[in-house]
Amino acid sequence: MMKRVEREWAGRPLSLETEKVAKQADGAILVQYGETVVLVTAVATKEPKEGTDFFPLMVNYIEMTFAAGRIPGGFFKREGRPTDQEILSSRLIDRSIRPLFPKGFLSETQVIATVLSADQQNDPSILGIIGASAALQVSDIPFIGPVAGVKVGRIDGEFVVNPTTDDLERSDLDLVVAGNREGVVMVEGGGKIVDEGTLLDAIFFGYEALKPILDIQDELRDLCGRDKRPCAPPEEGGPLWEEVKGFVRPLLQDAFQISRKIERRDRIGEIFQEAMERFGGVEGEFRFQVKRAFEDAEREVIRSPIFNDKKRIDGRGFSDIRPISCEVGLLPRTHGSALFSRGETQVLAVTTFGTSEDEQKVESLLEGEIYKTFMLHYNFPPFCVGEVSFLRAPSRREIGHGALAERALLPVLPSTEEFPYTIRVVSEVLESNGSSSMATVCGGCLSLMDAGVPIKASVAGIAMGLMKEDNQVVILTDIAGEEDHYGDMDFKVAGTAQGVTALQMDVKVPGLTRDIMEKALQQAREARLYILDVMSKTLDKPRKDLSKHAPRIVTIQINPDRIKEVIGPLGKNVKSIIDKTGVKIDIEDSGIVKIASPSAEAIEEAIALIRKSAQEAEVGEVYTGKVKKIVDFGAFVEILPGVEGLLHISQLAEGRVRKVSDVLRVGDEIKVKVLEIDSNGKIRLSRRAVLLEERDKRVHGEGRRRF
C-alpha cells in the first residue's frame, strides 16, 4: 500500500512516495518538488561480490527528455550515452551517500535516479540525492542515513534555499550542500568571486535548511521501513592481524622515506607481495585479512607522524606547499599554452580560440537548448601515474574534474561582447600526485593569459586535507596522493586574491564543525595567495596581442533588414565573400556580423564586401543600377544588391518618352537618383534628374572655359 510524506520546503511542496511504483526494487521513491518528479531506486545483490574488498556502488542519474516535453535530437531519437550534466549529477549523488554505507558491506549496489517530469525551475539532481537516501532508508540495504541535499543561492545579499533557474540568473552563488545528522558530508559549487566568510555562511545556511528533509525521511522509514540485512564489520585485530602489521610497519616506514612517488609505490608493492607470500597462504579470506592489515599499517605510517611529530611523510609542515614552477608560451603553434608543476603533479594547459561556429550546443532539462562559449576539458592519461591501460572515452572523474576547473575560471572571463571568441582550454595531466584538478585551474589561467584573453583576475586552486583522531584535528595544505587516500577530508578551493570561484568538498568522517571548515578555508586562502604570487612572476597579466596563429574577430553592425541581402539566395552571396577572402562569417538576427581570420587584410576586404551588400539607399544619392524589368509605366532598376526602385516613364529622359522600350532594355546599366523612399520602403528613382544635373555641369564648365 502506497505510503507518502510531504513537507513545505522553501515555499514549495516536497513529497516522498513509496510502494506505488517499481515495487520489485529493494527501495523505490517518487520524489516531487514543484512539478519536477524523480524516481529513485536502490537494489543490492543478496551476496557480497566475490574477490573484492571495496564497496561496489554504482549511481546513475538519467534525464529523460520527455520530462520536459521534448523529443531527443540525433538520428535514433532516443536517449543515448550520459551527458556531462547527467554524469555530474550522478557524482553528486554518489559522493553524498557513499560514506554512509557500513564497513564490510560488499554487495553490488545500484542507485538509479530517473527524471520523469521537469518543470525547468527546480533542480532534479537535488531530488536525486534526497530520493537516493530515502530509497536506501526504506530498503533492507544497510545504510547509515538519512542524508539530504539542498541548493543555496544569494540574491541581493540574501541567501536563498533552492533557487529556481530564473533565480540563479540573478544569484552570485550556486552551491549544493549535502549533510546528515552529524554534519556536512559534501559541498559542490562556486560563486562570482565570493569571500570565504560568505561562503562559510552559505554552507551552514544550507545545512540548516536541509534538516527538515532528514525528518521526513525518518518519518517515511517509520511508516514502512524494512529491517536491515545483517552486515558484520570486517574482522580486525587478532594474532594474524598484529603479526602482519608488526612485519610490514618498519618496512613501510623505510619505504615512505623514498621521495619519488613511482619508486615509493614500487617498493610498497614489493613489501605487500612479501607479506602475502609470508602470511596469505592459499585461502581467500586469509589473503583479504592480510591485505586489510597491510592497509591499516600503511594508514598508521602515514598518519602517525602527523599527530605525533607534527610532520608529514615527505617532511613538510602542515601548511607547506610543494615546489611550484610555471612556464608559458612553450608550444609555438597554439594560441596559448602553459606548463604548471607542483611537486610531482604537472599539467599542460592549452587555449584555443574559435568562432561562434565552435560553440558547444548543450541540451539541458533545466535550461533547454543553450550554447557554451567556454569549455575546459581535462584528460588523465595512464602514463601520468606510471600505468598502462586502454584509452577510452573520458571517465566520470575526468568530466568531474574538468567541470570543477571550468567553474573556477568562468567568473573571470570577459563577456562575448568584450571578447567575441569561443574559448576551449584542454588540460593534459602529465604527472599526478595530488590534485591535478587544482593544477589545471592554475595552468588553465596561465594559458588564457598567454593567449591574450583579457581575464578580470588570475585564478589559482589548492587541495586541502584533514586528519582527525580523537580530539586532534589537523588541516593539511596541498595534499599528496597518499594523504588524500588515507585522509578524512578532500577540500578543493579555487579563486582569485579577492575571493572563491569554485569549491568541492568530500568528508569521510562525521562531525565537521564550522570552526574546522573556517580554519580550512583560511589556510586555503593563504595557500592560494602564495600560488598566485608565484604565477605572477611568470605572467602577471594577459598578453596585449593575440598569437599570430589565432583568428582575429571583428564585429560590425548592419541593418537587420539587410541580412538577407548579405546572405543572398541560398547563401550565395555570403559564400562568395567567404570563398574570395577566406574568412569565417557569423551573422546574428540582431544585425551583428562577426568576421574571423588570422589576416587583417582579409577581414578588411570582407567588411567592405559585406557593407556593400548591406548598403541602404539614401534620398538624393546617385547610383549606377541595372534594369531588371520593364513595364508600361516605367522600369524597375536594382541600385544595390537586393534593392530595387521604380523609374517612372516620366523620369526616363529630359523630354517626353512615348514608350519605355524606346529608351531602355533589360540589363542596361544606367545612372539614377533616389527621389523618395516612402514609409513602406518603396523607392522612387529618376534618370531625368541625373541627365539635367550633368547638362548643368557641362554648361557651367563651358562658361568657365570661355573666361
Residue 585 backbone zone (phi > 0: left; psi -120 to 50: alpha; other: beta): beta
What percent of the residues of the chain are helix, what percent strand, and what percent coil, each to the nearest 5? 35, 30, 35
Nearest to 482 by CA among 216, 256, 245: 256
Confidence tier at 263 by pLDDT (50, 70, 90): very high
**Does the pLDDT at position 439 exceed 70?**
yes
Separation of alpha carbons 407 and 415, rounded Å:
15
> Around Cβ 318, how many Cβ atoms within 10 Å?
15
Top mean pLDDT of 491-500, 577-586, 675-684 is at 491-500
Q: List, for residues 522-571, the tens digit of each pLDDT value.
A: 999 999 999 999 999 999 999 999 988 888 888 899 888 889 889 988 89
Task: Tell me the CATH number of domain 239-308, given options 1.10.3720.10, 1.10.290.10, 3.40.50.1980, 1.10.10.400.
Answer: 1.10.10.400
Of residues 560, 542, 492, the one with CA closest to residue 521: 492
478: left (phi over 0), alpha (psi -120 to 50) or beta: left
| Per-residue pLDDT, 241 | 85
- CATH H superfamily, domain 552-614: K Homology domain, type 1 (3.30.1370.10)
Calculate the CA 267 to chain-centre distance: 39
> Is 60 exceeded by the pLDDT of residue 500?
yes
Q: What is the pLDDT of residues 654-706, one digit of tens each?
A: 888 889 888 899 999 999 999 998 877 789 999 999 988 888 887 765 444 33
For the chain, what are the domain ranges?
3-224, 239-308, 324-538, 552-614, 622-706
pLDDT digits (tens, 9 = 90+) for 124-167: 999 999 999 999 999 999 999 899 999 999 999 999 999 999 99
- Go through the chain and tell me how many residues it has: 707
Residue 413: helix, strand or coil by DSSP? coil
Identical fold at 3-224 and 324-538?
yes
- Of residues 237 and 336, more confidently modeled: 336
Per-residue pLDDT, averaged over 626-643, amounts to 89
Identify which has the larger pLDDT, 469 or 405.
405
Q: How far apart are CA 185 and CA 92, in angstroms?
A: 11
Which distant-in-sequence residues (6+ apart) come within 8 Å of 89 by Cβ? Answer: 61, 113, 124, 125, 128
CA terminus-to-terminus distance, the chain:
114
Return the percentage of the chain with pLDDT > 70, whole number.
98
Q: Is 275 exposed, middle or buried (0-12, 13-18, 19+ CB in 10 A)?
A: buried
CB 424 within 8 A of CB 434: no
Mean local confidence (pLDDT), 62-84 = 88
Q: Is the pLDDT of residue 627 over 80?
A: yes
Q: In the structure, what pLDDT confidence band is assigned to residue 297 with cuts at 50, 70 and 90?
A: very high
pLDDT of residue 687: 92
Q: Are 118 and 366 in contact (CB under 8 A)?
A: yes
Q: What is the pLDDT of residues 323-340, one digit of tens each?
A: 999 999 999 999 999 999
User: Which class in CATH covers the domain with range 3-224?
Assistant: alpha beta
Mean pLDDT of the chain: 91
Alpha-carbon span 267 to 12, nearest angstrom:
57
Res. 285 pLDDT band, cuts 50 70 90: low
pLDDT at 492 over 80: yes
pLDDT value, residue 700: 65
User: Residue 685, Cα to own-chain centre: how many angstroms?
Assistant: 57
Q: What is the pLDDT of residues 204-221, one digit of tens each?
A: 999 999 999 999 999 999
Helix 600-614 to helix 572-581 angle (10° resolution) is 160
pLDDT band for 190, please (50, 70, 90 cuts).
very high
DSSP reduced 3-state for 398: helix
Say which range, 175-179, 265-269, 509-513, 674-678, has the weakest mean pLDDT. Answer: 509-513
Report how far residue 577's alpha carbon sits from residue 113's, in angstroms, rounded to the nearest whole number.
51
The answer to whether 403 and 84 have CB atoms below 8 angstroms apart is: yes
Q: Are 616 and 645 in contact (CB under 8 A)?
A: no
Q: What's the pLDDT score for residue 164?
A: 94
Reading the block at residue 256, the C-alpha cell is: 615512505
CATH code 3.90.180.10 for 622-706: no
* Side chain identity at residue 407, one-letter code: R
Which CATH superfamily, name and number, covers 324-538?
Answer: GHMP Kinase, N-terminal domain (3.30.230.70)
The mean pLDDT of 223-229, rounded to a whole number, is 93
Strand order in the sheet with 3-9: 3-9, 12-18, 27-33, 36-48, 107-117, 57-63
Q: Write down the residue that cell numbers 557513499 correspond to.
A: 98
C-alpha cell at 351: 587555449
pTM across the whole model = 0.86
pLDDT at 706: 32
